Homo-oligomer: A and B are copies of this chain.
Amino acid sequence: MKIVTKRIELETRGAGDLIDITLKVQKSLESAGLQRGNVTVFVVGSTIGITTFEYESGLITDMQGLYNSIAPQDRHYAHDETWGDANGFSHLRAALQGPSLTVPFENGKLILGIWQQIVLAEFDNRPRDRQVVLQMIGE
């Protein structure tokens, strides 16, 4: 059994940008040469989250609506007074959605449903350069 660390680096467009990274994770797994194990997908930062959903335009719109209902962008947050960067809503969404996801793989392939994609959720109120860590443990 071994550990292989990979990283995905990408640029986002700010709050509401939901990015399907399934293919990048699958390709990283293939380059690692592991057949069976887990990949932990961890997003670095406090205004970004990770989950899985069916990546299609209707649901993307719905997910944006869900995140907005959890922590509306147009409300004032105590955090906004700390740095003056008005992204309190971003932090709340990220903390609730969470930064880590662990996906099993077998025969060198991620075990996912057909309509289940790994999606990075940018919550910050401006474009960001992001780093996603893929920690693969397997054989």
CB distance from A18 to the nearest CB of B (A): 10
Number of interface residues of A (CB under 8 A): 58
Counted per complex, copies of this chain come to 3
Report the minimal beta-carbon distance from A123 to chain B, rounded to whole angstroms: 11
Q: Does B66 contact A92, Cβ atoms closer than 8 Å?
A: yes
Q: How far is the CA of A56 from the CA of B1 in the complex (A)?
A: 40
Q: A1-B3, A61-B78, A138-B3 in contact; A46/B54 too (CB < 8 A)?
A: yes
A71: CB under 8 A from chain B? yes
> Measured between alpha carbons, how far is A119 from B96 in the docked complex, in Å?
12
Contact of A3 among B3, B54, B135, B139 (CB under 8 A): B139
B58 and A115 contact, CB distance less than 8 A: no
A104 touches B46 (CB 8 A): no
